[in-house]
């Protein structure tokens, strides 16, 4: 099973925490969900690109830029 553990996916986890904290604490509006959705889509697109570019199942690939260095010349 691929387990990319990208920087963007880790940042998405922090944004989820911050967004729900802001909603529950300060009562922020729907724009927080739109921002959360945009970051989540970007994180998942990066993972899809990593899966498409990797010749084998990727494990602990930090970003799309790191896939190229693992592929070799």
Q: What is the pLDDT of residues 17-72, one digit of tens each?
A: 999 999 999 998 889 999 999 999 999 999 999 999 888 888 888 998 888 776 65
DSSP H helices, the chain, are: 7-26, 31-53, 64-71
- For residue 2, tell me if it sits in a domain: no
Domain that holds residue 15: 7-71
- The verdict on residue 63 lying in a domain is yes
Overall domain count for the chain: 1
Other beta carbons within 10 Å of 13: 10
Residue 1 lies in a domain: no
19: exposed, middle or buried (Cβ count in 10 Å: 0-12, 13-18, 19+): middle
Q: What is the pLDDT of residues 46-60, one digit of tens each?
A: 999 999 988 888 888
Give the bridge partners for 3, in sequence order.
59
């Amino acid at each position: 099973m691929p387990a990319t553990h990208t920087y963007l996916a880790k940042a998405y986890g922090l944004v989820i925490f911050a967004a729900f904290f802001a909603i529950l604490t300060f009562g922020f509006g729907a724009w927080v969900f739109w921002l959360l959705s945009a970051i989540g889509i970007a994180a998942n697109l990066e993972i899809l690109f990593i899966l498409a570019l990797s010749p084998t199942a990727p494990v602990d690939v930090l970003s799309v830029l790191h896939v190229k260095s693992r592929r070799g010349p």
